[in-house]
Structure 1
Amino acid sequence: MTAKEYLEQVRHKQAEIGNLKRDKEAVKDMLYSLGGGGEGERVQSSRNNDKFGTLFSRIDEMERKIDDKIIDLMQFRMKVSEQINALDNVSYITILNCRYIHFQSWEKIARSAFDEERNVRSVQKLNGLALQEFEKKYAVMLAELTLEAI
């Protein structure tokens, strides 16, 4: 696994949580659509009331899964942040934190992350050097993660 792939896991975990939240909202919408008719609407007497229990159960299960994923994200994000902060070069620490922990665009990093404004290309080049340094420092861990993925 490369340093970039490892660091991008923070964004992937966060995106997964967002997707799960949207899925949960879709199930809630289904529940509300089954639940109620307005005035003047007839309700069929042979309605399956277990649908509500099933949907409530599914929503509860999804909420627990989301909570677990949030805890996992927080722990992983803290670990990655500590690893980044253990690098020796302050510029590398700054750029990796801005990009992979706070998900800032190259433009925003170039404008605000350093004492003087930089161009996007120089920030991207610095990011490449920072990734190489991260990869060098954590080579054993990244190799082990690669083997686990196989």
Structure 2
Amino acid sequence: MTVKEYLGQAYRIDQRINSKLEQVGSLRALATKATSTMSDTPPSGSRNVQSMENVIVKIIDLENEINEDIDMLVDLKREIVGVIKRIENPEYQTLLELRYLCFYSWEKVAVEMEYDLRYLHKLHRKALEQCSAFIPAGK
């Protein structure tokens, strides 16, 4: 795994969490959606309760997965912070934190740090070189 891949793991987990949150929202909307039909015949009285139960079970399962992913993200971010703090150059630290922990775009990092985009990429390469010495073994 490259240094960029190692640092980028947090972003991927964050994306998965957001995707699952959208799925939960969609399932909740489905569960609360009420349909009524106008008809001369009275309702049969046999609503599909099992279908609603399945939706609720899926919501609970997804929420449990989200909680597990959040725990994993917090642990990974803590590990990445430890790696970044070992770099002595504060500019490199700031750059890596904004990019890999705050998930800022390159343009936003450049604005925050008040650097030209090309210069920022040069700094990034140097920061990654220093960071590689501190990546935990097996990562």
Structure 1-normalised TM-score?
A: 0.81
Residue 127 of structure 1 is aligned with which of 103, 124, 129?
A: 124
How far apart are residue 44 of structure 1 and its match?
4.6
2:35 is paired with a residue whose SS is coil
Q: What is the aligned length?
A: 137
How far apart are residue 12 of structure 1 and its match?
0.3
Distance 1:75 1:137 in 2: 17
Runs in 1 of length 4+ with deviation above 6 angstroms? none
Structure 2-normalised TM-score?
A: 0.87
Equivalent in the alignment of 1:148: none
How far apart are residue 37 of structure 1 and its match?
2.8
Richer in helix (by share): 1
Unmatched tracts of structure 2, length 5 or more? none
Equivalent in the alignment of 1:48: 48
Distance 1:11 1:57 in 2: 28
Distance 1:44 1:62 in 2: 33
Q: Deviations over 1:21-64 (max 9, x none)?
A: 1111122222223xx23474674544321111111111111111
Cα distance change on mapping 1:137 and 1:67 into 2, 3 Å: closer
Confirm or deny: 8 A CA contact 1:20 1:66 kept in the other structure: yes
